[in-house]
Structures are given as structure tokens and as C-alpha cells.
Amino acid sequence: MDIATLIGLLGGFGLVAGAIFIGGSMGAFIDIPSILIVVLGTFMITTVSYTLPEMIKAQGLYMKTLFFSAPDLVEEVKFILTLAQKARANGLLSIQAEVDQITNEYFKKALTLAVDGSNPEFIESMMKSDSTIMNDRHQQGIDILKRSAEVAPAMGLIGTLIGLVQMLGNLSDPSAIGPSMAVALLTTMYGAVLANMVFSPLAAKLERNSRVELAARKIYLHSVLSMVKQENPRQLEVILNTLLPPKDRVSVFD
């Protein structure tokens, strides 16, 4: 669970709800026509730019964003260097038990290929291809969120115009002015809330998570290739430390 994302979303909406509750009635800020125009309208218009399967896949990706757990790269590097030392001393087959315990599927798959005797060129090609496909999938999800952030305020504006037209067309009926004004104002609010409190923040978080995952995969790539080539673990330590921030660099071989 990504606690920061959860706290941010719940806290942001909580503050808005609190301000509404303190200033008046919550019911006054709920309008079904406005919700239909903005929420469903944003989804429908965004779908025009993509295919329905792409939109459906993106929803699953957004849920994963809420439950994303960033790997501890320092601990991962320490584990990898210990594994590399054992593999060089006793051969790749000696790390089979440790490979079976690895939870990261990308790293586990690559190491399994290494233990099975696959050549470095094939492993490198497979790992890079897998990362490219993952990055493309993430980028499509980011693009959909950014497109939704553009569409939501526009749908809010459309709802505002609808409400104003209805209001102006019923000036002779005072009872119709209130509901029409509610649609006009609330659609703008809903559009701004969706764009700035949901779509844009989630797009930024997905970009951040994608960078973290790609950084981890780069470490895994260098590590597996180094083990397959039976390189000195001290040399691998130097390479992996260049991929970590200076404050997180490790020293396993003193």
C-alpha cells in the first residue's frame, strides 16, 4: 500500500468536505446531472482518444499505483552482491534455492534463465524488451490520466454553459433558477476537483513509480549479466553503487 498516495487523496478530499460541512450543507454540493456531465462525460470523451480495451487496462494500472511498494534498493544491492559472491565461488546452480525465494518476478525470471544456462545476449535482450514493454504500458496510463485532466475542466465548462442556458431560459420561473445555477457552478467545481485532485496527482505518481521501477530493473540487469559472466563481485559493487544516490551507496566487501 502506498501510504503517501492514500493519505494525500483522503486528506485532500477530507479538507474539501470539511470546508463544505463547516460552511453549509453537504447536500447542496451534490448534483446528479453535474456528476453525470463531468464524471461520465470525462470518461467517454477520453475514450474517444483511445480504445476501450486500453481504457479498461488503465483502470487496473491505477489501482496498482495505490498499492505500489517501492523496493529498498540498498537492501536489494546488498542481497545481490551476496548472491553474486556465492555464484562466483560455487557456480550459478548453487544459488537456485535463493532464486526460488525472490519475490520480484522480473529479477527471478532473469536469474532462472541464468541458472538454466542461457547465454548473456539472450538474457539481456529479454530483460530490456520486458522493461520497454512495461514502460510503454505505464506511459499509456500516464497519457490517459493527463488527457482526463485536460477533459474534466472542459466538461465542467460545458456543464456550466448548460446550466446558464437553462437558467436564462427560465427567468420567468424563479423555482427553476436555483437548480440551473447549481448545475452551472457544481460542474465547474467537479471538473476542477477531478483534474487537480485525482487525475494530475495520479499521473505524477505513476511517472514517479515508473522511474523507480526502471531504476530497480537497471540494477537487476547489470547484476544478472555480471553473474552470468562470472565477473568479480567487487566490480559489480562499483557498478551498482553508480546507480544509487551517494548517501545510499553500500560497501559489502571491505
> How does residue 191 score in pLDDT terms, banded at 50, 70 and 90?
very high
Asked, for residue 123, whether it belongs to a domain, the answer is yes
Which amino acid is it at 14?
Answer: G
* Position 119 pLDDT exceeds 80: yes
- What total number of domains does the chain contain? 2
Q: Are residues 44 and 9 in the same domain?
A: no
According to DSSP H, which parts of 91-199 are helical? 96-101, 105-115, 120-168, 174-194
Does 229 share its domain with 121? yes
Range of the domain at 6: 1-30
Among the residue ranges 3-7, 13-17, 72-76, 166-170, the one predicted with the least confidence is 166-170
Same domain, 110 and 203: yes
pLDDT at 145 over 90: yes
Q: Is the same domain home to 25 and 136? A: no
Nearest to 83 by CA among 240, 249, 188: 240
Answer yes or no: is pLDDT of 78 > 90: yes
Cα separation, 22 vs 38, in Å, equals 25
Q: What is the pTM of this model?
A: 0.84
How do residues 199-251 score in pLDDT, each as one tens digit?
A: 999 999 999 999 999 999 999 999 999 999 999 999 999 999 999 988 889 88
Instruction: Say if residue 8 is in the same domain as residue 87.
Output: no
Kindly tell me if the per-residue pLDDT of 254 is higher than 70.
no
**CA 206, CA 219: separation in Å to the nearest integer?**
20
Indicate whether 16 and 100 sit together in one domain: no
Same domain, residue pair 67 and 163: yes
With respect to residue 254, please indicate whether it lies within any of the assigned structural domains.
Answer: no
**Same domain, yes or no, for 19 and 73?**
no
Q: What is the pLDDT of residue 47?
A: 93
- Based on the domain organization, do 72 and 7 belong to the same domain? no
Residues 16 and 98 in one domain: no
Determine, yes or no, domain membership for 253. no
Q: Cα separation of 84 and 206, whole Å?
A: 32
Mean pLDDT of the chain: 88
Report the C-alpha gap between 79 and 84 in whole angstroms: 9
| 21 and 42 both lie in a single domain | no
User: How far, in Å, CA of 147 to CA of 58, rounded?
Assistant: 13
Q: Do 12 and 69 fall into the same domain? A: no
pLDDT the model gives residue 71 = 83
